[in-house]
Structure 1
């Protein structure tokens, strides 16, 4: 039985589409846990700092048990710093302002552009060739995402065009991070080691920026809801990070970039199961587009 389970696990970790589904589920789970933690009293930057550090610390003993090490050459340290800034610190900071001035709906929607931008960037620099089947798949995923969040689209406040434009930097950063991870993946480094180093650096970058937006001395940890929220989110984030990096390692940046689509899909399903939200015909159509688009985008050109 153990060998069968191990075999099935290996197959899942080697299948981009199965791994994409797992990463999407973990993405949705992290979002729900983050909302719960914020409701319990955590501040946004506090959550960003300790969820990332917690994930990295959870991965360290696993890394030690497998006799692996985080690459620490100067070029790797620069890579971690760049990824921490581009993939986490800048989007987190911009989201803070855009949510306040334009609303959370727009912030969610701009992330829809990340797969389209990732595909474009990868094609422009010659990392991955753009072909019709993949383009159709990414487009289907985009339409599916729009179908799922069509209510939020109606709530967008576009009275502040400057901040609407600033919000577009968020998906550009996300797409750039996707490209950077693939282009400069440390040679011979596992997804476990790379994700551990990136988690710790992301926490550090956000910690450096946190005093500008929050007062760290006001951060609370003693309340049971806050401490337990950080611990649980750290564990889930650790697993999510390893799976995310494994997906990018085997499938490339374009397939990886669809995690947000799948995460939104799983979020809608989980909300229906856990909180009784109603799934409409449009919801099912959106989910079908996301799944179908993911399968099309994952298929190799023949």
Structure 2
């Protein structure tokens, strides 16, 4: 476990796989009548609550100050509340696998922002790997979702906004990371802030507290989502510290693979040959960027 905590590639695989589970879980929740905003709340409240309990059990606490409060609110908004809401809204129209492939665009946008802001950037092989991944993602985007029901352009655009928000979050978390805070504390505080934002939206414009009744019929799914989210975010911020924002963004490649496989084999989704070819090219890109990161370490 200690080796995993210090391994960029190990943390990458764990984070990406658990993030990928959000895609089939989100589609199943939507099919059960759970609104996207409510499921996004489940993710943030579940992860934040479990991580806070873990902190308290270890005798630690979240020491609030103005800097941390700002960090929690901004991170909650651009890294969790907005992208999760967009993601879960797009899944019913694009499919879990296709929506997951949108994650692969995050490294490209993260790289551009990193260069503009002077944050850590990859070497030549890393840039080449990201470019290869982008070519594969572009091929996938052209197919517009499942083969049997191509989505409207609007939902493709919604899906594309997910990596934009994620990339902004990747950069911000490194840029404004509180010096006196640990990864579990930041994860717990940010998710609880996201839960407050989403709960406020649910009460005001998302159907009110009565909408929570939809969760009663899916206790196993709720528990599975909370377990996956809390485990993922326990190591998410550690990956940020070990690998940096551009390397962190590579979790989208792993998540896309998990989403595409689970959507195809467990949810009955069907995709065009171009989608699979693009996904294969994306896989080549992530191996290149991983090799570049290992060479730089």
TM range (shorter): 0.7 to 0.9
* Match of residue 73, structure 1, among 44, 65, 68: 65
Distance 2:204 2:88 in 1: 12
TM-score of the superposed pair, with normalisation by structure 1: 0.81
| Maintained 8 Å contact 1:115/1:138 | yes
Q: In structure 1, what is the equivalent of residue 241 of structure 2?
A: 249
* Match of residue 152, structure 2, among 157, 176, 182: 157
Distance 1:277 1:214 in 2: 29
* Match of residue 94, structure 2, among 100, 104, 117: 104
Structure 1 unaligned blocks of 5 or more: 1-8
Does residue 195 (structure 1) correspond to residue 187 (structure 2)? The answer is: yes
Distance 2:233 2:114 in 1: 22
Q: In structure 1, what is the equivalent of residue 18 of structure 2?
A: 26
- State the shift of 1:226 in Å: 2.6
Instruction: Name which of structure 1's ranges 131-140 and 219-228 shifts more when overlaid on structure 2.
Output: 219-228
| Larger Rg computed on CA atoms | 1
Distance 1:278 1:285 in 2: 16
Q: In structure 1, what is the equivalent of residue 48 of structure 2?
A: 56
Structure 1 pair 150/253, CA: closer, same or farther in 2 (3 Å)?
same
Distance 2:220 2:159 in 1: 32
* Match of residue 263, structure 1, among 239, 243, 255: 255
Distance 2:143 2:228 in 1: 29
Q: In structure 2, what is the equivalent of residue 37 of structure 1?
A: 29
| Maintained 8 Å contact 2:107/2:167 | yes
Runs of 4+ in structure 1 over 6 Å off: 96-100, 163-167, 276-281
Structure 2 unaligned blocks of 5 or more: none
Structure 1 pair 257/13, CA: closer, same or farther in 2 (3 Å)?
same
Does residue 230 (structure 1) correspond to residue 222 (structure 2)? The answer is: yes
* Match of residue 280, structure 2, among 278, 285, 292: 285
Q: In structure 2, what is the equivalent of residue 4 of structure 1?
A: none
The root-mean-square deviation of aligned C-alpha atoms, in Å, is 3.3
Instruction: Name which of structure 1's ranges 65-74 and 108-117 shifts more when overlaid on structure 2.
Output: 108-117
Does residue 139 (structure 1) correspond to residue 131 (structure 2)? The answer is: yes
Report how many residues are paired: 289
Distance 2:89 2:269 in 1: 29
- State the shift of 1:218 in Å: 3.0
Distance 2:235 2:29 in 1: 23
Structure 1 pair 49/255, CA: closer, same or farther in 2 (3 Å)?
same
Provide the secondary structure at the position in 1 that maps to 2:60: coil
Does residue 113 (structure 1) correspond to residue 105 (structure 2)? The answer is: yes
- State the shift of 1:277 in Å: 7.0
| Maintained 8 Å contact 1:136/1:296 | no
- State the shift of 1:290 in Å: 4.4
Instruction: Name which of structure 1's ranges 89-98 and 212-221 shifts more when overlaid on structure 2.
Output: 89-98
- State the shift of 1:71 in Å: 3.5
| Maintained 8 Å contact 2:257/2:279 | no
Q: In structure 2, what is the equivalent of residue 218 of structure 1?
A: 210
- State the shift of 1:78 in Å: 1.3
Distance 1:241 1:286 in 2: 28
Query: Residue by residue, what CA displacement relative to the aligned partner does 1:20-77 show, whole Å, maximum 9, x if unpaired?
Result: 1111110112222222222223211111112211111111221122222223111111
